[in-house]
Structure 1
Amino acid sequence: MPGTIDLTFALEMIGTVAFALSGAMVAIQKRLDLLGILVLGITTAVGGGMIRDLIIGIHPPMMFVKPVYVVVSAIFILILFLIIKVNHSSPKFLESALYETLFNLMDAIGLGVFTVVGVNSVMNNDMNHMLFLKIFLGVITGVGGGLIRDMMANETPGILRKHVYACASIAGAVCYIILYDWLRSGTAMVLSVILVVVIRVLAKHYEWNLPKAL
């Protein structure tokens, strides 16, 4: 349906910008140069989708067929770079609670959007009967970019340690699958994205974590 396609593209753009900025913020905090900031930001934005496309056999991945995602990521990363560059209070900002809040919000939005987009891509490729595949691809699309970002930044991936990160993605994927049969697709997508963002924000605020052995 045209309306659903338009909404999906809009959500993809929102998620792309959110993840691109989160990756760029990590790169800036790591004191990388402009190329490093662009690489880390763009990789965060399109990495999950690239993994998803390779798994379901889309060759080449959509990031190469439709480079609009890479271009939009680069534009917003450059804008962020210039803002940080000309702002003399940037070093303090990078260590502030506001920076942490903004980073987690961008990351949560990207996670929610791409989780839903990942599930939706399975539904649009005649594999709607594969329940586990829908959930798995939703989660890998959501966490893939952040996973690559963290490894490139020499950090333990957030999905292995951060406040119910992957669990929020799983919840969003399951929510979308359930709501898809009851509501219009667009409504189900938006509600599922909101669920992921709310879980991530609450998990950060209340420091929810899964139990550890030690």
Structure 2
Amino acid sequence: MTAWNVFEIMGIVAFAVSGALTGIQKRVDIFGVLVLAVTTAVGGGIMRDVIIGNTPPLTFRDPTFFIISAIATIGVCFTYRWLDKFKHTIQIFDAIGLGAFTATSANLAIEHNLNTLFIVTTVAVITGIGGSVLRDVFVKEIPYVFRQEVYAITTIAGAISFYYAQFYFTGNIPLYLCFCITTGLRICCIMYGINFPVIGVNSGGRT
């Protein structure tokens, strides 16, 4: 198993967990929990594959991703009460998935000869935020990326680091670097409450 496969599976599991946790918190039924988990896990990857011409998307050619998402969902259903004790649980899993998918998508773009900074970054961002945006829309919430949360910027930073790292490092080092930067920045923003300002809202919360 290659490093790319490991990160892809890591992203699938992390996003599936965040999707399942969201479904449970929103009190949807078990089918709804599974749909949210799978959508969060594979939604961004499907968008990525369509954009880079890797069709039909890998998700539809290999059922492994659906199976992994389903297993992760079952695991969450049995451990939800334990996971729910930890603050920011959904956001932490979301950060791990974001970092993993940013790294694998940037790498996949390069492998498909889409070797420009703009394309690599765009593909990484769409993959990283795609599943989460769909998840939040399904549960009628404004997606993280559109709120105060510093979300997409961390993906952009990770993708840029990957793009330039490939010129100086060989092997999987750019992949690891991208994952660490994206996930690390996102977790720091969560832990320290770093947000973008909202236009038209003052410190008292009134427009």
> TM (normalized to structure 1)?
0.88
Matches of residues 98-177 of structure 1 in structure 2 within 5 Å? 98=86, 100-128=87-115, 130-177=116-163
Q: Distance in 2 between matches of 1:80 and 1:206?
A: 27
1:87 — aligned with what? Answer: none
- Could you tell me which runs of 5 or more consecutive residues in structure 1 were left unpaired when the two chains were aligned: 85-89
The 2-side partners of 1:113 and 1:197 are apart by 8
Alignment of 1:8-157 (within 5 A): 8-84=4-80, 90=81, 94=84, 96=85, 98=86, 100-128=87-115, 130-157=116-143
Of 179, 182, 198, the residue aligned with 1:193 is 179
Shift >6 Å, 4+ stretches: none
Q: CA deviation at 1:196?
A: 1.1
- Cross-structure match for 2:203: none
CA shift at 1:180, angstroms?
1.3
Asked if structure 2 preserves the Cα contact closer than 8 Å seen for 1:163 and 1:200, the reply is no
Q: Quick check: 2:148–2:197 contact (8 Å CA) kept in 1?
A: no
Write the deviation string for residues 12-38 of structure 1: whole angstroms up to 9, x where unpaired: 011110000000000000011110000
Structure 1 residue 181 displacement after superposition: 1.2
SS in 2 for 1:204: helix
1:31 aligned partner, one-letter code: R
Look up the equivalent residue of 1:36 and give its one-letter code. G
Look up the equivalent residue of 1:101 and give its one-letter code. H
Match of 2:204 in 1: none
- Which structure shows the bigger proportion of residues in helix conformation? 1
Q: Structure 1 CA distance, aligned partners of 2:54 and 2:176?
A: 25
Q: Which amino acid aligns with 1:213?
A: I
SS in 2 for 1:174: helix
Distance 2:71 2:28 in 1: 18
Over 3 Å counting, the alpha-carbon distance change for 1:125 and 1:197 in structure 2 is: same
Question: How many Å separate the matches in 2 of 1:142 and 1:11?
Answer: 13
Choose 184-193 or 41-50, whichever is displaced more. 184-193
Task: Please state how far the C-alpha of 1:162 moved relative to its aligned partner.
Answer: 4.3
RMSD of aligned C-alpha atoms? Answer: 1.6
Q: For the residues of structure 2 that align with 1:175 and 1:127, how far apart are their CA atoms?
A: 16
Question: Identity of aligned pairs, percent?
Answer: 36
- In the alignment, which residue of structure 2 is the partner of 1:209? 195
Cα shift at 1:93:
6.6
Please, what TM-score do these two structures have when normalized by structure 2? 0.91
